[in-house]
Structure 1
Amino acid sequence: MNKEIATERLVLRPWQESDAESLYKYAQDPAIGPIAGWPPHTSVEDSLNIIRTVFAAPETYAVVLKETGEPVGSIGIMLGDGLHSAEMRANEAEIGYWIGKPYWGQGLIPEAVRCLLKRCFEDLGMTAVWCGYYDGNTKSRRVMEKCGFRFHHTEEGNTSPLGDVRTEHFMWMTKEEWLKISKEENLCK
Structure 2
Amino acid sequence: MTPVIETPRLLLRPYRDADAADLYAYSRDPRVGVIAGWQPHRSEEESLRFLRTVFSAPDVFALELRESGRAVGSIGFVGGHPAGEHPGCPDDEIGYALSPAHWGRGLMPEAMAAVLSYGFGPKGLARIWCSHYAGNWRSARVITKCGFRYAFARTEHVADFGEDRQTYFYVLTKEGWRERVSGAL
- Report the counterpart of residue 21 of structure 1 in structure 2: 21
Cα shift at 1:77: 1.0
- Report the counterpart of residue 159 of structure 1 in structure 2: 157
Question: Matched residues in 1 for 2:177 and 2:30: separation?
Answer: 34
TM-score, normalised relative to structure 2? 0.94
Residue 11, structure 1, aligned to residue 7, structure 2? no
- Report the counterpart of residue 108 of structure 2 in structure 1: 109
Question: Matched residues in 1 for 2:101 and 2:159: separation?
Answer: 25
- Report the counterpart of residue 45 of structure 1 in structure 2: 45
Cα shift at 1:78: 2.2
Question: Matched residues in 2 for 1:108 and 1:29: separation?
Answer: 18
1:166-181 alignment, distance < 5 Å? 166-181=165-180
Question: Matched residues in 2 for 1:105 and 1:57: separation?
Answer: 28
AA in 1 matched with 2:83: E
Cα shift at 1:161: 3.8
Question: Matched residues in 2 for 1:161 and 1:14: separation?
Answer: 27
Cα shift at 1:92: 0.4
Q: Which runs of 4+ in 1 moved over 3 A?
A: none
Cα shift at 1:182: 1.1
Cα shift at 1:184: 3.1
SS at match of 1:132: strand
- Report the counterpart of residue 135 of structure 1 in structure 2: 134
- Report the counterpart of residue 34 of structure 2 in structure 1: 34
Question: Matched residues in 2 for 1:115 and 1:161: separation?
Answer: 31
CA offsets, 1:38-79, max 9 Å, x none?
110000000000011110111011011000000000100123
TM-score, normalised relative to structure 1? 0.92
Cα shift at 1:14: 0.2
SS at match of 1:79: coil
1:43-122 alignment, distance < 5 Å? 43-80=43-80, 86-88=82-84, 89=87, 90-122=89-121
- Report the counterpart of residue 144 of structure 1 in structure 2: 143
Question: Matched residues in 1 for 2:5 and 2:43: separation?
Answer: 29
Sequence identity, in percent? 43
CA offsets, 1:149-172, max 9 Å, x none?
01000102x102423110000001
Question: Matched residues in 2 for 1:95 and 1:142: separation?
Answer: 15
CA offsets, 1:86-113, max 9 Å, x none?
2344300101101000000111001111
AA in 2 matched with 1:104: W
Does 1 or 2 have the higher relative contact order (CA < 8 Å, sep 6+)?
A: 1
> Where does structure 1 lack aligned partners over 5 or more consecutive residues?
none
